[in-house]
Amino acid sequence: MNADTKPHESQPAAQPSSKDDERLSSAPARTPSVISPANSSLRNSQDSSRPSLDGTVHEDADQAEQNMAVVSRASSGPAYTVFSTKMIYWIVAMNCISAFISPTTANIYFPALPSIAKDLGVSIGQANLSLTTYMIFQALAPTIFGDLADAAGRRPAFIIAMVIYLGANIGLALQRNFAALLVFRMMQSGGSSGTIALVYGVVADIAPSSERGRYMGIVGAGITVGPSLGPVIGGLLTQYLGWPSVFWFCVVVSVVFLVPYILAVPETGRKIVGNGSIPPQGWNMTLLDYIRFRRLPIDASRPPQAKRKFPIPNPFNTLRVLGNKDMALVLGYNALIYVGFMTCTATLSTQFADIYHYNNIQLGLCYLPVGVACMTSSISQGFILDWNYRRTAKKLGHKIDRKRGDNLKDFPIERVRIQLIFPLIIVGAAVYIAYGWVLQAELHVAVPLVLTFFIGLCVTGSFQIINTLIVDLYPEAPATATAANNFVRCLAGAVATAIIEILIGAWGRGWAYTFIALLFLIPSPILWVIQKNGPKWREERRLRSVARAERKERKEMEKNQQSEEDASQENAVRA
């Protein structure tokens, strides 16, 4: 609930138009209609002209003129979101922090691994099993939390995930047993990775396509900078405070995030609160709103909301996303780009340690160039995406509706996003190949560090653009689509990180990194196929979705009709 919005005031209607693809299924069906400001002004205008007993119409001319001016300025539909700009940036900032937590948690563990293995009396190979279990749950957890967020709302999913994460970190800090390490690392992965599916869904809730790039960039900066800062933080903590301090640090971070989130971050799920004007139910309220609402008198004029059961998430909804041609190709290619990013960051510490003989702190600092590049690329690409959207819309004569959001039915959103990727892919692949051969020649450390900066700019920039496109293509369930993206890329990343050291040992650094670069460069024509056929596939998917909704509604009507007939026959028998 928007903190700037009082619950007893009239709000803009949140029920979307059935013809608007951008807001398809964005508000729950059969929600109570709410009087918009425009309708309220029109009603007041009608009330100000009342016939007297003698049939003469007496009208307050000034009032009528003022009301008509309001009506003429009012938009023909509800706003895409009623949240203020300050509230939007507050929501995005909290989501950026949440996005930062998951990848940081995965990488903060690396410097502590040798110390943990020594204290628990296991080999490094056995300790590496905790990395494998972590990545498996990193792929699976979002499939549950993504569907939960789309069905029950963002807040319940966020809070459940972070509570699991908090408990797992406490367990990891206190455990001194290898089996406990594996179990708590799986829980830690499930909690932290579950939020990844949610952050992009929240951006889709509050930002229309024309302005989505900048907010996606801010949230994406948290995701991409985490792998770089994690080893730095982990190395410092392990060196000076011991490995348990790594997990106590995660405990502090989770508490610092949870307290303001529970207190003051409103529900944004469009199936729950529409554009933010529908009052949320208990578990979707912020704590401050819940306390305030309890003190307010009950408004008898407001129709009561039907109580909703807490839904059981269905992870197979995530897998169904892969059944769409456009989404399957987009997610598949995005996974290849992620492999390029993941293999670079995953092997940076081992290769630099082998070549330059650095300690843990020095190795952690070597991640800073790629981290700065990832953050810079993510934020700047967001603004470039919005600029390209406006440029293309102007060229096509498409009027951008920043208030209500655009209907993307006849707008080439695929081309708007994808045309920015091609130069990044080409330059990124060239830099990636150069990076491998520089490591092969063991040149001065400054050379590969500069190249990692450009890898962060180009490869991560491409990755963030496709993340934005995924949300654009699946507006009816953005968290579920993001979960599918996370599922595919994490599985691909797990395979890549498992074999990259083997490839380096067998082929050498130069040919191994060349192979990875060609892995995402050669299939790049897939993007042209998506750009050409994407609008057609998107429309086919929309029509299938409409047909499914009609069949479901028809079945419900038939079921209700049959129930009424059975009740009538039963009453007749009793009579």
What is the per-residue pLDDT across 457-497, written as a single tens digit (0 to 9) for each?
898 888 888 988 888 888 777 888 888 888 888 888 878 87
CA separation for the pair 564, 34 (Å, rounded): 30
Predicted pLDDT at 69: 36
Q: What is the pLDDT of residues 426-445, one digit of tens each?
A: 999 999 999 999 999 999 99
Return the ∠ at Cα 453 (arms to 383 and 515), rounded to 5°.
Answer: 105
- Residue 569: the pLDDT is 79
Greater pLDDT, 199 or 40: 199
Q: Which two tokens stand for residue 558?
A: 């038939």
Q: What is the secondary structure of 367-398 as a DSSP string?
A: THHHHHHHHHHHHHHHHHHHHHHHHHHHHHTP
Say if residue 29's pLDDT is above 50.
Answer: no
CB 220 within 8 A of CB 382: yes
pLDDT digits (tens, 9 = 90+) for 196-247: 878 888 988 898 888 888 888 888 888 878 877 888 888 888 888 989 999 9
Tokens of 380: 């700047």
Rounded distance between C-alpha atoms, residue 117 and residue 178, angstroms: 9
pLDDT band at 303 (very low <50, low <70, confident <90, very high): low
Q: How confident is the model at residue 297 (pLDDT cuts 50, 70, 90)?
A: low
Give the pLDDT confidence score for residue 73 in this predicted structure. 36
Q: Residue 217 corresponds to which amino acid?
A: G
Q: How many CB atoms lie within 10 A of CB 254?
A: 24
With pLDDT > 90 as the criterion, what percentage of the chain qualifies?
A: 23
Sequence-distant (≥ 6) Cβ neighbours of residue 297 within 8 angstroms:
none
Rounded CA separation 455/343 (Å):
11
Q: What is the pLDDT of residue 77?
A: 63
Average pLDDT over residues 390-419: 82
Q: What percentage of the chain exceeds 70 in pLDDT?
A: 82
Q: Looking at residue 296, what is its pLDDT?
A: 56
What is residue 94's predicted lDDT score, i.e. its pLDDT? 92
Q: How many CB atoms lie within 10 A of CB 258?
A: 16
Q: Is it the case that residue 9 has pLDDT exceeding 60?
A: no
Q: What amino acid occupies position 152?
A: A
**Sequence letter at residue 415:** R
pLDDT in tens, 93-119: 999 998 888 888 888 887 788 888 888
Q: How confident is the model at residue 15 (pLDDT cuts 50, 70, 90)?
A: very low
Select the more confidently predicted residue: 265 or 402.
265
Residue 366 to residue 358: CA distance in whole angstroms? 10
Residue 54 pLDDT > 70: no
Which tens digit of pLDDT belongs to each residue from 332-350?
A: 999 999 899 888 887 887 8
Mean pLDDT (the chain) is 79
Instruction: Give the pLDDT confidence of 117-164 residue by residue, as tens digits.
Output: 888 888 877 787 787 788 788 888 888 888 888 888 899 999 999 999
Mean pLDDT, range 299-309, rounded to an integer: 58
